[in-house]
Amino acid sequence: MGYSRSPTLWEERCAKCWRCTFECPLGYALPEAFGKPVKVEVELVRAGTPLLVSVGGLDTEYAEKLSERLGAGLAVVKGLDARYTRGGPLDRSSLERAKRKLAASTRVYALSPEAAHALGLEFLPLHFPKLGLRVDYEGVVHVPCLLRSAEARIAESLRGAGARVTGVDRDSCLRVRPRERVLYLCPRARRLGLPSVYDLVTGAR
């Protein structure tokens, strides 16, 4: 029958590979075919440069701590987490409004792979060294599925921030097969009790 024809099966069992690959590896139609468009909205909490972009309900606590520490601006994108949690296409008009609002700032960095991917923003860990953020870690680093094209830059930036990267995990999925003894760059890892790079740079652990 296929995941795309059963919303219940899709929500419970589908790994939602389409978030990263834009197609179902089993050949089924994308679940977006029956999902309701997700509307997003940007709330500017604090003006400043650089501007850190948080996804409401996902990484706001990390973003608030880093904003205070760096003296940076802070914007929260509401609604975006639903796109990557339950699935569904983004409402194009609200997405374009969000992008225009964020484009008013000169340096805009997304904390989560989700925000970087959906809004076309620079991923914050790529700029840790120039922001003076240190990562005291030695071991394997997981590269987010949504940002695999930036794997080399991510590893280089983490090394520049002090991390001793001994390997890169690009094949496992945080949602499907989370691994221990791996440092995740996804704020979502915290929900699973796994270490996130933001725990290190904010002192949360």
Round to whole Å and give the CA distance between 79 and 199.
24
Give the integer Cα–Cα distance in Å for 9 and 3: 6
Helices (H) and strands (E) in the chain, counts: 9, 8
CA atoms within 13 A on the CB side of 120: 8
Count Cβ atoms below 10 Å from residue 52 Cβ, excluding itself.
27
Q: What angle do CA 7, 10, 11 make, to 5 degrees?
A: 90
Encode the chain (205 residues) as per-residue pLDDT tens digits. 344 556 566 555 555 554 544 555 556 565 554 467 889 999 999 999 999 999 998 999 999 999 999 999 999 999 998 887 766 678 999 999 999 999 999 899 999 999 998 999 999 999 999 999 999 999 999 998 888 889 999 999 999 999 999 999 987 777 767 788 899 999 989 888 888 999 999 975 5
pTM: 0.84
Where are the alpha helices (H) located in the chain, listed in sequence order?
7-13, 18-21, 60-70, 80-85, 92-103, 113-119, 128-131, 151-160, 197-202
CATH topology of domain 41-124: Rossmann fold (3.40.50)
Q: Report DSSP letters for 21-36, one per residue.
A: HSS-TT-PPPGGGTSP
> So where are the chain's domains?
3-33, 41-124, 128-202
